A = this chain, B = another copy of it.
Amino acid sequence: MKMAVLGTGMVGRALAGRLTALGHEVVIGTRDVKQTLMRTERGTMELPPYAEWQRANPDVRLVPFSEAGAHGELIVNATAGAVSLATLKMVGAANLAGKVIVDIALPLDFSQGMPPQFLVATTDSLGEQIQCAFPKARVVKTLNTMFCKVMIEPARLPGRHNVFVAGNDADAKKIVKSMLREFGWSEEAIIDLGGIRAARATEMYMELYFTLVGVLDTFDFNIAVVRA
């Protein structure tokens, strides 16, 4: 499938690399291709410069946001939550119409330290804001409850644990669930929370997630729903 990943950070790279390995035609979108390739500094968590990753992943093309939007039938929003709406505007509403937007972004501000501050109220979510700003796109919130390495390889954690999906379009959710199964998520591990309003549920869980990051001293965990 033709896919575009928005965001050149750790999460975007993890998704783009894995989707390419699975046989999809993947591009990564960025604001300014030249500038992204010219950066030499490391990011947070010792993230190597993009150009270094690009050399190791020559099959993934780096293109401007609008070209990424035109290419992708499925578009993964792996940008920082604070710039997601602005980024999607650069991709262009026309390029997003009818497309599946897999929104894995977090409406969080990490600039004040951990745990991060929320950029949305308890009566809102980034997923809903994106769906509202681009009504012709089919937004599916998913994978935003875990570390990117767990997203693309759930078997790295032992036993049963869960991933959530929320979105208004049933066909879009089918496509996204199929992508999750390609990543290694079993049918039973995928919990459909209903419409895009449920993005609030998984986004607000972030307060617990990042508090646990501090306590467990790792990002490398997930939650399992345990029922009687």
A→B interface (CB under 8 Å): 115, 117-118, 120-123, 156-161, 164, 191-194, 198, 200-202, 204-205, 207-208, 210-212, 214-216, 218, 220-228
Contact = CB atoms under 8 A, between A and B. Distances in A.
Contact of A225 (B117, B160, B193, B212): B212
A121 B164 CA distance: 24
A226 B159 contact: yes
Contact of A157 (B123, B216, B226): B226
B121 A161 contact: no
B220 A223 contact: no
A158 B225 CA distance: 11
Contacts of A164: 208
A97 to B, nearest CB: 28
16 contacts: A115-B201, A117-B122, A120-B122, A121-B121, A122-B122, A122-B207, A157-B226, A191-B212, A192-B215, A193-B211, A194-B214, A201-B208, A212-B225, A222-B226, A223-B224, A223-B226
A78 to B, nearest CB: 21
Contacts of A122: 117-118, 120-122, 204, 207
B227 A218 contact: yes
A131 B164 CA distance: 34
B208 A202 contact: yes
A204 B198 CA distance: 13
Which residue among A160, A164, A204 has the maximum number of chain B CB atoms within 10 Å of its CB? Answer: A204
Contacts of A118: 122-123
Given A193-B211, A200-B211, A201-B211, 8 more contacts: A117-B122, A121-B122, A122-B122, A122-B204, A193-B212, A201-B207, A201-B208, A204-B204
B221 A228 contact: yes
